[in-house]
A and B are shown apart, each in its own frame.
Chain A
C-alpha cells in the first residue's frame, strides 16, 4: 500500500474543506492534502447554479459555481495537494486515513491532524415512509438538480415536490423555467422548511401552490409515476380524511438533510443524536484529539457562507494542533434550554472569541434569548426553525463562562 506522510489531511473539497485547507495554508502549514471523490473541487456548489451565495462571506450575490471559484482559484495558487476522484474509505483508531482511487489503489495517510468536511446527504422517500409502488420518476431534489444542471436531463414534466426544504423550492423554480409544470409542494409541518426568500422567489413568483400541513400518502404508477394522493394532516401528523389526487410523472423529495458521518463512526467519534453530527468544541475539534470537523458534516447549516466560516476555524485549529501548540483549557458544555432544538458547538474552550449557533424547535414571535447568568440578552421579533441564530461571545464573556458548570441558552417570550 502506498503511504503518505502529511501535516493535515482534509476530507471533502466543498465550501468547508476548501476554506479549511486554505486557512491552514495561510497559517503556514507546509504539507496539506485535500481529497475529494468528485473529479473537481467545489462539492455540491457546482450544481447549485442559482444565486444567493456569498452575501455574508464576500458581500456579493454569487451563484454556487462562482462561490466555489473564489476558493478554487486560491487553491490553484497554493501548494496544497489536491487529490481528486479519491474516496476516503476508513479512519483507523490511530488516526490513519485509508484512501482509494484508480491510480494508486489504496493509500495510507499518516497525518498530524484530520479535518472532516464530508457535507451531508438528503433524506429519501424510504426515510419518510411513503407507501405505494416503486416506479421510476422518484428523485431527491438534489439528485434532480445534478441531472438538470450538470448532466443536462430534465427529470420530468409534471411534478409534485414533497417537503419544503430549500433544494425542493429551488428545483420547483428551476423545473418551471425549463418548461415543467409543478403542481404542488407539500409540507407536513404548519410552516415551511426553507428560507422565506425561496418561498417568495421560487413558489409565489410562479404561482406554485404550497400545501402546509399536507403530506403525500400514496404514490401511484407501475413503470413510471402516474400520480400521488395528498392528505391534510392533523395536529400530531396523522392523515385526515380530506384527500385529493394529483396526476404527475415526477416526484421530488426535499425532506431534510443528514450529516454524512460514516467515517466519523469508524474513528469512533461521539455523535450527537439531535444534529446527527459529532460533538464538537468551539475550535471544531471532535471527541478525538486531532480530528476536526466543519460544515454540514458537523450539523446542517442554512448557508454555504457559514460552512466556510466554520472551515476556517477548523483549519486554524488543526494548524495549531499539527504545530504542537494546541490550547488545553477547560471545556464548558453548552445546553439547549427552552425552545432550543440544539446549540452548537457543544463545548466552549476558546478564550478570544466564539460563535454559537442555535436552532429553535418552533417559530415564535417577540422573543428574548437568554443564557445562564443572563450573560446574553437578545430581543428578536421572530425566530424560525429554518433560520439559525448566531450568538457571538467575546473574551470577557468567555472568561465568565469558564467559571460556570454549563452554559444554557433559552428562547422565551419577551
Chain B
C-alpha cells in the first residue's frame, strides 16, 4: 500500500478485519493514523476485498431487519427491513425507533412504516403481506 518511509509521525491505530467478499475469508489488518487516514492494508488479496475493507474501516454499513407489532393479524409480529444500508453504529438507534411502531392489518409487502428513519435517507419497509 504505502512504503515504510512514509509512515506518519503521529499515533497509529491498527484494526483487524475478516474479509467476507468471497469464501477465502482473508484476515486483514488496517494501519491508520489518528485521523483515520489509512496508510497500510495487510493481508487483502484482491481489489474487491480491499474496497470492502476500506469501507468497513471508514464507514461500515448494514441492512437492518427486525419486526414491529401488528394488530388484527394472524400473527403478532410483522417483519420489516431498512430499504437500504444504514451506518453500522446507528443500528441500535434505529431499533429504538422501530420498537415504537404499531401497525394495523392488513398490510402489504413494501409498505413504509417509517419514512427517512432518523434522517438517514432510508425508509423502514414491510417485508411480507399480512392480514
Q: Spell out A's residues near B (CB within 8 Å).
A: 39, 46, 49-51, 61, 63, 65-66, 68-69, 148-152, 177-178, 196-197, 199-201, 204-205, 381-382, 384, 387
Interfacial chain B residues near A151, Cβ < 8 Å:
75-77
Task: Evaluate contact between A178 and B95: CB separation under 8 angstroms.
Answer: yes
Task: Evaluate contact between A177 and B25: CB separation under 8 angstroms.
Answer: no
Interfacial chain B residues near A63, Cβ < 8 Å:
65, 79, 81, 127
B91 close to A (CB within 8 Å): yes
Task: Evaluate contact between B65 and A49: CB separation under 8 angstroms.
Answer: yes
Could you tell me which residues of chain B, from 12 to 27, have a CB within 8 Å of some CB in chain A?
Answer: 18, 20, 23-25
8 A-B pairs closest in CB distance: A65-B128, A49-B79, A152-B76, A196-B25, A197-B20, A152-B77, A63-B127, A65-B127
State in angstroms the CA–CA spacing of A66 and B88 once bound together: 23
Could you tell me which residues of chain B, from 103 to 131, have a CB within 8 Å of some CB in chain A?
Answer: 109, 127-129
Known: A66-B128, A149-B77, A196-B18. A51 touches B25 (CB 8 A): no
Interfacial chain B residues near A69, Cβ < 8 Å:
109, 127-129
Task: Evaluate contact between B128 and A46: CB separation under 8 angstroms.
Answer: yes
State in angstroms the CA–CA spacing of A46 and B128 once bound together: 9
Task: Evaluate contact between B67 and A152: CB separation under 8 angstroms.
Answer: yes
State in angstroms the CA–CA spacing of A61 and B92 once bound together: 22
State in angstroms the CA–CA spacing of A382 and B22 once bound together: 10
B38 close to A (CB within 8 Å): no
State in angstroms the CA–CA spacing of A46 and B127 once bound together: 10
Please pick, from B77, B81, B92, B95, the residue contacting A150 in the complex, using a CB distance under 8 A.
B77
Report 5 cross-chain contacts, Cβ distance below 8 Å, ordered by A residue.
A46-B128, A49-B79, A50-B65, A148-B67, A196-B20
Task: Evaluate contact between A149 and B62: CB separation under 8 angstroms.
Answer: no
State in angstroms the CA–CA spacing of A150 and B69 once bound together: 10
Q: Spell out B's residues near A (CB within 8 Å).
A: 18, 20, 23-25, 62-67, 69, 74-77, 79, 81, 88, 91-92, 95, 109, 127-129
Question: Tally of A-B residue pairs with Cβ under 8 A?
Answer: 71
Please pick, from A39, A61, A196, A201, the residue contacting B23 in the complex, using a CB distance under 8 A.
A196
Task: Evaluate contact between B24 and A200: CB separation under 8 angstroms.
Answer: no
Task: Evaluate contact between A152 and B69: CB separation under 8 angstroms.
Answer: yes
Least CB distance, B74 to chain A, in whole angstroms: 7
State in angstroms the CA–CA spacing of A196 and B77 once bound together: 29
Least CB distance, B130 to chain A, in whole angstroms: 9
Least CB distance, B125 to chain A, in whole angstroms: 10
Task: Evaluate contact between A61 and B63: CB separation under 8 angstroms.
Answer: yes
Task: Evaluate contact between A177 and B91: CB separation under 8 angstroms.
Answer: yes
State in angstroms the CA–CA spacing of A196 and B20 once bound together: 6
Interfacial chain A residues near B67, Cβ < 8 Å:
49, 148-149, 152
Closest to A179 in B: B95
State in angstroms the CA–CA spacing of A173 and B88 once bound together: 13
Interfacial chain B residues near A152, Cβ < 8 Å:
67, 69, 75-77
Additional 11 contacts, C-beta under 8 A, given A151-B77, A197-B20: A49-B79, A49-B81, A63-B79, A63-B81, A65-B109, A65-B127, A68-B128, A69-B128, A148-B67, A151-B75, A387-B23
Least CB distance, A16 to chain B, in whole angstroms: 19
Closest to A365 in B: B24
Interfacial chain B residues near A51, Cβ < 8 Å:
63, 65, 81
State in angstroms the CA–CA spacing of A61 and B128 once bound together: 15
Task: Evaluate contact between A66 and B127: CB separation under 8 angstroms.
Answer: yes
Least CB distance, A180 to chain B, in whole angstroms: 12
Please pick, from A65, A178, A201, the residue contacting B20 in the complex, using a CB distance under 8 A.
A201
Least CB distance, A62 to chain B, in whole angstroms: 8
Interfacial chain A residues near B79, Cβ < 8 Å:
49, 63, 65, 149
Closest to A62 in B: B127
Task: Evaluate contact between B24 and A382: CB separation under 8 angstroms.
Answer: yes
Interfacial chain A residues near B18, Cβ < 8 Å:
196, 199-200, 204
Least CB distance, A279 to chain B, in whole angstroms: 28
State in angstroms the CA–CA spacing of A39 and B77 once bound together: 16
Interfacial chain A residues near B88, Cβ < 8 Å:
205
State in angstroms the CA–CA spacing of A201 and B63 once bound together: 10
